[in-house]
Every structure is written in C-alpha cells, then in structure tokens.
C-alpha cells in the first residue's frame, strides 16, 4: 500500500504525468516496416504504440523488431521492408492502465517498463505514462511533502543530515 500522504500528493494532478495521445508517436498495424522505420528514426524513440485506424491499442513496435526483420534477408536493402507490415513483427501489449490514478500498479510496472499505455474501457488509446513523467512527479513530492504534511520520525534522532 502506498502511504496516504504520498498518494495524495502524487495524485494531485494525474493528467500532469499523462502524455496525451495526440503527441505520442505511433504507427498502424497495416503500415509497412519501411514507413515504421522512418517514424522511429524521426522521433528517436525505441518503442512506440501500434494503433488501429479507429485508435484502438493493438500492440507495440520496437526498433529492434524492425532491424531484426531487415537482418532476416541476407544483403537486404531498406526497401525490402516495404514488403513486411507492422502487424508481422509487433509485440502484444502485456501491460497497460485504464486509469491514471492506479498508482500502485503504475509504480510497480514502471520499474521494468519504460512506459505504460493508457486506454479507456474500450481499449481506445488515450496516451502514455512514462518513467520520466512519473519521476518528475516523484521529484515534486520529494520537495513538497513537508509543505503539506508534518513529517515526524517515529523514533527520535533517526534522520542523519550530515
Ligand atoms: O526523442 C526524444 N525526445 C525526448 N525528449 N527524450 C527522449 C527521446 N528519445 C529518448 N528520450 C529519452 C527519454 O528520457 O530516453 C528515454 C528512453 O527512451 P525510449 O523509451 O527507450 O525510446 C526517454 O524516457 P521517457 O521519456 O520516460 O520515455 C520512456 C519510453 O516511452 C520511451 C518510448 O518508448 C516511449 N515514449 C516516450 N515519449 C513518447 C514515447 N513514444 C512515443 N511518443 C512519445 N512522445
């Protein structure tokens, strides 16, 4: 269980740590890998969401999956990637959240995942929650906890500030 004071401060503004769908780079499952490689190279991210034409979350595409596909064919040139689609190499979405206030789940999953997709109850993509945005929120917490709460050690003289 997350401490109540910590949870209250982190949850003051859940939208602040969600990157909204309209500024998250993505590809669709029917895109060719040639197009996907262009998108990944342009945005600089190593893994991005795969969406359907009606914005449902369908999978994740990693740059390594695209380069692996390229390496399957000896001597293959980048234009070979136009014969393979994102659907052929994308990975399934193992972890996602449907509510940015589910902090316990978010903090636990972000230990191993660089980002979590946020969806609504129909699996329509709403955005992502990244390690960076959560760390910014934790940084805010670290600097503001004692402005809103009186933090008293349970055992006297346990804080060494030397
Ligand atoms: O192009 C970049 N711009 C910025 N501002 N930061 C970048 C860029 N590329 C990498 N970074 C940094 C970020 O701190 O490297 C970290 C790891 O990137 P990644 O995973 O391996 O490509 C970034 O950490 P983060 O912001 O916490 O993001 C975690 C992961 O979330 C990224 C990427 O898979 C995904 N992501 C973040 N913002 C995204 C995005 N995917 C699509 N569109 C976005 N706007």
Contact (Cβ atoms closer than 8 angstroms) between residue 50 and residue 59: yes
Which atom of ligand 1 lies at the shortest distance from residue 43's CA?
1
Give dist(CA 18, CA 16) in Å, integer. Answer: 6
Give dist(CA 29, CA 86) in Å, integer. Answer: 5
Residue 136 CB less than 6 A away from ligand 1: no
Ligand 1 centre to CA of 25 (Å) is 10
Assessment of whether the complete model's pTM goes beyond 0.75: yes
pLDDT range class, residue 44, cuts 50, 70, 90: very high
Give dist(CA 32, CA 121) in Å, integer. Answer: 29
Ligand 1 centre to CA of 45 (Å) is 5
The residue among 68 and 151 whose pLDDT is bigger is: 68
What does the pLDDT read at residue 160? 64
Residue 47 CB less than 6 A away from ligand 1: yes
Rounded to the nearest angstrom, the gap between the alpha carbon of residue 88 and the centroid of all alpha carbons in its chain is: 22
Mutate to test the pocket of ligand 1, among 19, 21, 45, 51 (most ligand atoms within 8 A of CB): 45
Task: Report, as an integer, the average pLDDT of 71-99.
Answer: 91
- H/E stretch holding 128 reads strand 125-130
Q: Which residues pair with 53 in a beta bridge?
A: none
Q: Is the dihedral of CA 21, 22, 26, 29 positive or negative?
A: positive
From residue 52, give the alpha-carbon distance in Å to each of 28, 41, 78, 152.
6, 21, 24, 51
Give dist(CA 102, CA 105) in Å, integer. Answer: 6
What does the pLDDT read at residue 74? 81
DSSP label at residue 90: P
């Amino acid at each position: 269980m997350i401490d109540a004071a910590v949870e209250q401060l982190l949850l003051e503004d859940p939208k602040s740590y969600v990157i909204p769908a309209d500024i998250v780079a993505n590809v669709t499952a029917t895109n060719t890998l040639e197009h996907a490689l262009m998108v990944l190279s342009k945005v600089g991210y190593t893994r991005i969401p795969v969406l359907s034409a009606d914005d449902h979350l369908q999978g994740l595409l990693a740059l390594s999956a695209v380069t692996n596909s390229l390496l399957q064919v000896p001597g293959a040139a980048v234009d070979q990637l136009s014969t393979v689609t994102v659907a052929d190499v994308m990975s399934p979405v193992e972890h996602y959240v449907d509510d940015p206030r589910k902090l316990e789940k978010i903090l636990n999953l972000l230990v191993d995942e660089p980002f979590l997709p946020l969806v609504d109850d129909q699996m329509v993509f709403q955005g992502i929650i990244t390690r960076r945005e959560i760390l910014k929120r934790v940084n805010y917490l670290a600097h503001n906890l004692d402005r809103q709460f009186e933090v008293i050690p349970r055992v006297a003289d346990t804080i060494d500030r030397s």
